[in-house]
Amino acid sequence: MQARKKLIFSLSSLVLLWILISLASIFIGTYDINPIRAILSGNELAKTIYFKIRIPRILMASIAGGTLALAGAGLQALFRNPLASPFTLGVSGGASLGALLAIRIGLANGILGFSAVSVFSFLFSIFTIFFVYSISKLRGVVATGRLLLAGVVVNFFYSAIILFLQFFSDLTQPLQTMRWIMGSLDIVGFDTVWKTLFFVIPGCLILLSMTKDMNLYSLGDDVASSLGVNVNMMEKKIYFATSLAASAVISVTGPIGFVGLIIPHILRMILGVDNRIIIPCSFLLGASFLTAMDTISRTIISPVEIPVGIITAAFGGGFFLWLLMKTKKEVIV
Amino acid sequence: MEKIIEGQNIHFSYDGVEVIKGVNLSIAQGTIVGLLGANGVGKSTLLKVLTGILSTKHGKILYKSRELKYLPKREMSKRIAYVPQSPTFGFPFTVSEIIKMGRAPYLGRFEFENDRDNEIAFQAMETVGITHLQDRLVSEISGGEKQLASFARALAQEPELMVLDEPATFLDVKHKTEILRLLLKLKKERNISIIAATHDVFSSLFFFDRLIILKDGEILAEGTCDQVLTDDTLSKAYNIGVTVRREDGKIFVFPAETNRELAPTLR
């Protein structure tokens, strides 16, 4: 199939999938009343649940899942390596340490309407990204091998600090931190959604505008350059766009792992590796995936809510392993 | 004859180590030029400077009398195609996807290949003889086939100048001959100019209109095959005694210490 037809077909199927999953997610929950009837009857509780809790939460799940998957696909193109994700670059470690510090210091007041935990984790992950980036530079050029290694090592270093601080704190704080690290989409109202979008939209648009160059880039720096790509500029743009978007999401939801890794993989197994198709589709499938996982996490043993990070790892990981074993095609280099 | 590309006093350094030390060269339009020299003398670097992949502060590159650095990258990539020594593909694209990437310079940011682009890509595969591979993944084909795919991608760019870095390294005798024949055909039918770095030219030197021999970042000799291929020049170039023989219009080059003489000492 021609790339364009393939893109249109997969995009429309994925939009449909997202709509179906979101609708299902609105209807399913601990509070089980037909929303249309409830809202028409002027039930205040129903209104609150649907408009303050469920719909914002579905949007947040979609934004978070979509962004993490898109960022993963972008970083994989950047590293020419299907194992790259925001987490391999130290973003999660930085975010977690930032959150822990905010909890530890006991900052109650937010800044500019963001909670202190979010602000700290955002700042820390951005700082980590700059740090990792600057030590990965050799002769003004980012050495991708160095970058991956630096990211992994920084993550370990952060987790040492996190464990150290945890060890010396009273009982409630480690629990609170642990809970944050597990990841959650528990938000109230649309406020957080808009604020996250403020950072996510520019990041995602930059990535979506570079899909053709990402393809050429996979032919190596020299060939990409000979085909008209400004390689240096492109590397920087991908790096900062993914960092900005992913940090913004993680600072709100906590590190929800795995989405950025498996969603692009699953798509490549089905659709091939053309980034013009994989990048936009990653957003939609990531959005659907996290929305579905979040719905499971809040209903599977309702009224108790399991942290969504556990569900994504369990379901996503299981599904991914199954796909890996089933697919004989050499899609993973 | 009109020059397609000209390098004036090119210098290039990696980390302060000068690799190219003041090279002057020019390629006449519609000719095939061979770039010879031992390993590490700067052949690949020189080719990358000529294509604009590496930019140099010292020296000028003129493309049809216009300075290359003022030519927008996109325009450059419609005119000059580069084939690397060992092509990499990063992800398992299909062969035809790779060839279509050669059309990228002609497409807008969000534009997909149209029927004409697909046609040109298919013709490039036909010319190189790899249409049977078009739906295969590049991770599944052989090294030689990868090189042919990379060559076809370069052809799809519809270039005026092709810069080839050891285009035949991974090719067997048959494919090597076919590629060389193809280069002659491209030159003749499409007036494409070609510069190719090569090691294994001893069997194929007569394909080249001119030869440039590089040593330690400088030009050691330049001229037609007859002018350049002498015992003396090649011995200097490779730091080993070399004997050149001519027979029936063919050129044979071999090390002066032939295997037979060497063999007893190794035994």
What ipTM was reported for this prediction? 0.91
Touching check for B206 and chain A: CB below 8 Å?
no
Please state the φ and ψ torsions of residue A62, each to the nearest 5 degrees. Answer: -65, -45
> CB–CB of A236/A248 below 8 Å?
no
Chain-chain contact of B97 with A272 (C-beta, under 8 angstroms) = yes
Q: How far apart are CA A213 and CA A230, in angstroms?
A: 9
Q: In whole numbers, what is the pLDDT of chain A averaged over residues?
A: 85
Residue A333 has a pLDDT of 40
Question: Domain for residue A275, yes or no?
Answer: yes
As a whole number of angstroms, the longest Cα–Cα distance in chain A is 67
Given a cut of 60, whether residue B265 has pLDDT beyond it is no
Does B61 touch chain A if contact means CB atoms closer than 8 Å? no
| CATH code, residues B3-228 | 3.40.50.300
| CATH number for A188 | 1.10.3470.10
| Per-residue model confidence as pLDDT tens digits over A12-38 | 999 999 999 999 998 887 666 676 777
Q: What is the pLDDT of residues A226-262, one digit of tens each?
A: 999 999 899 889 988 998 898 889 888 888 878 988 8
Whether the CB of B147 is below 8 Å from some CB of chain A: the reply is no
- Residue B103's contacts (CB-CB under 8 Å, 6 or more residues apart) are B113, B117, B120, B121, B156, B157
Residue B258 has pLDDT above 80, yes or no: no
- Identify the band that residue A103 occupies on the pLDDT scale cut at 50, 70 and 90: confident
Domain count, chain A: 1
pLDDT tens digit sequence for A112-126? 667 788 888 888 888
What is the rounded (10 degree) CA torsion for B34, B40, B42, B45? 100
Residue A91 pLDDT more than 90? no
Rounded Cα–Cα distance for residues B153 and B151 (Å): 5
Nearest-Cα residue of chain B relative to residue A230: B73
Phi, psi of B221 (to 5 degrees): -155, 155
B203 pLDDT above the threshold of 80:
no
Residue A127 lies in a domain: yes
**Residues near A266 by beta carbon (within 8 Å), at least 6 away in sequence:** A285, A319, A320, A323
Which pLDDT does position A99 carry in this prediction? 84
In contact, A124 and A110? CB cutoff 8 Å: no
Evaluate whether residue A331 is within a structural domain: no
For residues A102 and A119, give the distance between their C-alpha atoms in angstroms, rounded to a whole number. 9
Range of the domain at A85: 3-326
Listed in sequence order, the DSSP H helices in A106-230 are: 116-135, 144-167, 172-182, 191-208, 211-217, 221-226
Instruction: State whether residue B225 is helix, strand or coil.
Output: helix
* Cβ within 8 Å of residue A327, ≥6 positions away: A269
Please identify which residue in the block is written with the tokens 């799809």: B156
| Residue B164 CA: distances (Å) to CA of A44, B117, B154, B224 | 73, 23, 10, 19
Contact B73 A225 (CB under 8 A): yes
**Would the pLDDT of B192 be above 80?**
yes
Q: Please determine, for residue B141, whether its predicted confidence score (pLDDT) is greater than 50.
A: yes
Give the per-residue pLDDT at A110: 65
Q: Where are the domains of chain B?
A: 3-228
Report the C-alpha gap between B14 and A332 in whole angstroms: 34
Residue A329: pLDDT over 60: no
Confidence class for position A288, pLDDT limits 50, 70, 90: very high
In a domain, A333, yes or no: no
pLDDT digits (tens, 9 = 90+) for B206-248: 788 999 999 999 999 999 888 888 888 888 888 888 888 877 7
Q: Does B160 touch chain A (CB under 8 A)?
A: no
Cα-trace Rg, chain B:
19
Report the distance separating Cα B115 and Cα B132, nearest Å. Answer: 20
- Does A106 fall in a domain? yes
Distance from CA of A75 to the nearest CA of B (A): 13
